[in-house]
Amino acid sequence: MESEVVLSVKDLKTYFYLPHGVLKAVDGISFDVHAGELVGLVGESGCGKSITARSILNMVRDPGKPMGEVWFYRNGEGVNLLEMGPDSPEIRRVRGDALTMIFQEPMNAFSMVHTVGHQIMEGILLHRHVSKTEARRQAIQLLENVGIANPGQRVDEYPFQLSGGMRQRAMIAMAIATNPRLLICDEPTTALDVSVQAQILSLLKDLQRRNGMAIIFITHDLAVISQIAHRVIVMYLGKVVEEAAVREIFKSPQHPYTVRLMEAVPDVALAKGIEHGRLQTIEGFVPEPIDLPAECVFYKRCPEAFDRCRTGLPELVQVGPGHFVRCFKFGQQGRASLP
């Protein structure tokens, strides 16, 4: 996309220094997010997606340490969030204001001893110079905007009094209360039934169109990503293994890991005529990223692996316009180099 860059992540690494070794949860990833763009960050559980989100927000605690650069841009100026203290006044002026997050489980993110309205108003009062009366009015309006019935009543209720779908909507209301430039969504629909999930996705797309904000949407569900994303970043074991526009990556996935993720999506399996639509599985599991051998991160699970895959980690190379793959099947210029 040609719009301005909102977020630029450069060689981000988040390591956890443990007694039994260094756990490399995020290991040197780089990507940009543009205004009005929705970027899907996908992969199995344990691939580093959620830690990437927390690293961007500089919310990783000891023994974890994020390193690299996370540039956030607004009003024509950029700041490196990793140069700020995780609890500093400087980052608090960004986090929760122009950069916000929807967490996977709202019951853990909401305080149970404060009303939903109080928690929405807290962000408004912190980042906007308005009275409590105006903040309450805005909180009620936000609850109405996210499709909660009787918002004037719900604003004074506690999170445990709301259904799962309503809690997730209330969390969206809290996240968009300050009209952020970038919204990070960490598996926001995983625990919801299909009908509520569809409503939440439609709501997010509508809010993005109206507000022009950028969104990073983290999920393991490629069916969801196919509906909402402009661009997809596939992660495996803390690294980006493929990146492309959503149509390109569904039409022509290149990395063996991405191919097998696609074959596990019912609609994709049927479209490709894979054994009468039988879903495929990826053998093995995501290993713990401690003291890994110097080889391709997917080597032990890859049915297409060959000798070179054991010799080191392949670079991320361009194989088409805006399409990047980390695999030894491709040379540095994107030419196939199968043995």
Does this model's pTM top 0.85?
A: yes
271 contacts 65 by C-beta, under 8 angstroms: no
In this prediction, residue 109 carries a pLDDT of: 79
In this prediction, residue 244 carries a pLDDT of: 97
Residue ranges in the chain modelled with pLDDT below 50: 1, 269-270, 273-274, 332-339
pLDDT in tens, 35-58: 999 999 999 888 999 999 999 999
In this prediction, residue 168 carries a pLDDT of: 86
In this prediction, residue 11 carries a pLDDT of: 97
Q: Please, what is the average pLDDT of the chain?
A: 88
In this prediction, residue 335 carries a pLDDT of: 44
Give the Å distances, CA to CA, from 232 to 2, 11, 219, 224. Answer: 17, 18, 11, 12
Cα angle 204-324-224, degrees, rounded to a multiple of 5: 25
Look at the block and give the residue holding tokens 């939903």: 116
Look at the block and give the residue holding tokens 């929705």: 38
CA distance 257 to 229: 19
Order of all β-strands in the sheet with 231-236: 99-102, 182-186, 214-219, 38-42, 231-236, 239-245, 323-326, 316-320
Question: How close are the terminal C-alpha atoms of the chain, in Å?
Answer: 36
1 contacts 230 by C-beta, under 8 angstroms: yes
> 95: which DSSP letter?
B
List of long-range contacts for 273-282, beta carbons under 8 Å, 24+ apart: 282/44, 282/257
Backbone angles phi, psi at 245, to 5 degrees: -60, 150
Cα angle 101-103-104, degrees, rounded to a multiple of 5: 150
Please report, for the chain, the start and end positions of each structural domain, with discontinuous segments joined by +.
Answer: 253-326
CB atoms within 10 A of CB 110: 21
Query: How large is the angle between the packed helices 116-127 and 164-176, nearest 10 degrees?
Result: 10
In this prediction, residue 337 carries a pLDDT of: 43
